[in-house]
A = this chain, B = another copy of it.
């Protein structure tokens, strides 16, 4: 056994997209080669190579001096059994880090550079620090439009690509940030009922209290394999699935896992992320929803327009028919925030209930109308009326029930969490502001989306009159600890401002 051979040991630590190798401090290789903490090593076994960041271990029960511990990710990647002998070398840093350093120094990168970077990231050759360096170097203002196009293309090519074998595959996407904004669950049944193909994949909540996948999961299964999705869409013309099972633009997922804890959110990366995912999902026609408001992701009209141009520039060059809708993002959409409460709102709209939230209904019809106008057989300007007709006739509701059944119906329970607390107005007046962030945060701390029944139910929206002591919203939770955290948070800041009629924040755009 040569000095550079170690026995593989699986270490049950989830290091989340980063390969970590645990080396005992007394390991001869660690000593002899001068591996330093945070330096990377190359592990070779069975012709497979893995790059991993070194963590030094002083506890023999985790790894012995003769062992090489691998985190769950690294162990899976290497595809060998425990106890197998591996050789260990100094790792050269991923070659494409040269391009990242050039970018840091202000140079412009080309398509080949972005392809190399995407490839190294997918092959998990980048550490979290290296990904952070790439994200900051390509962040706000640092990518020109062509570089953004290259990045999108590189992300697209990093994974698989679906092909629906139809000339028109419709999709919609909202850039996010508005609680309760569950329009997809209305747009999909309306558009599918019209006969157009709309195989919608959605994410779960990342920092929000509910994603479309979380909310749809209240009604049906959403973890569909690409094959199941194909069958469902063949039958229903639409679906509402979680996008995580298909390997679409995997670089995007890896970058997001670093972006999120860093709180970095550049417009360029958002465009590349959305368009690479949509193109990989096989979409040919896409409506992008950009909500604008003081507590939305996009706060000014000029910023929304700049973002629209970026989407159009990249979309046109990557051959997707793309239209941007700039929408009112001043406050949450609908009344419920949290999976069960949002599912309730969606079902009310589908059932044409008199107490269905008007804003959710209206926005969904506008989006669906725009998509329906992608249909060459629809006369310009008729989309909205067609969408409304599909909804009012009950055909959208039937389509939704049919999709739910095909995806696998769940025992539906739309009763929100039993622990309730009402937050009331501290003065008389009119609701002048509702803070999207704070409302989302309260719902999240109450347990959403992990606890489907947790969340916030709004009673008042912008412009509504309130009397002193009148309830503004109700917190729902399932667990006392979460409930108390959420109550405390709402006490500090309810997210609501009450003032006079003329102080109501006006929409930045007219609808």
Q: Which chain A residues have a beta carbon within 8 Å of chain B's beta carbons?
A: 2-4, 11-16, 22, 25, 31-34, 36-40, 53, 55-59, 61-62, 72, 90, 93, 97, 101, 104-106, 127-133, 135-137, 139-141, 257-258, 260-264, 266, 444-445, 447, 449-450, 479-482
Contact = CB atoms under 8 A, between A and B. Distances in A.
A429 to B, nearest CB: 31
13 contacts: A13-B57, A13-B59, A15-B55, A16-B55, A32-B450, A34-B444, A34-B449, A38-B257, A38-B258, A97-B262, A104-B264, A132-B133, A133-B133
Given A14-B25, A72-B58, A129-B261, A140 B479 contact: no
Contact of A32 (B12, B266, B444, B481): B481
Given A36-B260, A129-B258, 16 more contacts: A3-B480, A13-B55, A14-B25, A14-B56, A14-B58, A15-B37, A15-B55, A32-B450, A33-B481, A38-B128, A38-B261, A53-B261, A61-B61, A129-B129, A132-B132, A133-B133
Contacts of A482: 32-33
Contacts of A128: 38, 128-129, 132
Given A3-B479, A133-B135, A106 B33 contact: no
A57 B136 contact: no
Contacts of A15: 37, 55
A485 to B, nearest CB: 8
A444 B106 CA distance: 32
A481 B3 contact: yes
B481 A140 contact: no
A298 to B, nearest CB: 14
A42 B22 CA distance: 25
Given A141-B106, A261-B127, A450-B34, A13 B97 contact: no
A187 to B, nearest CB: 28
Contacts of A139: 104-105
A209 to B, nearest CB: 10
Nearest to A2: B481
A25 B14 CA distance: 9
Contacts of A260: 36, 38
Contact of A11 (B39, B59, B129, B264): B59
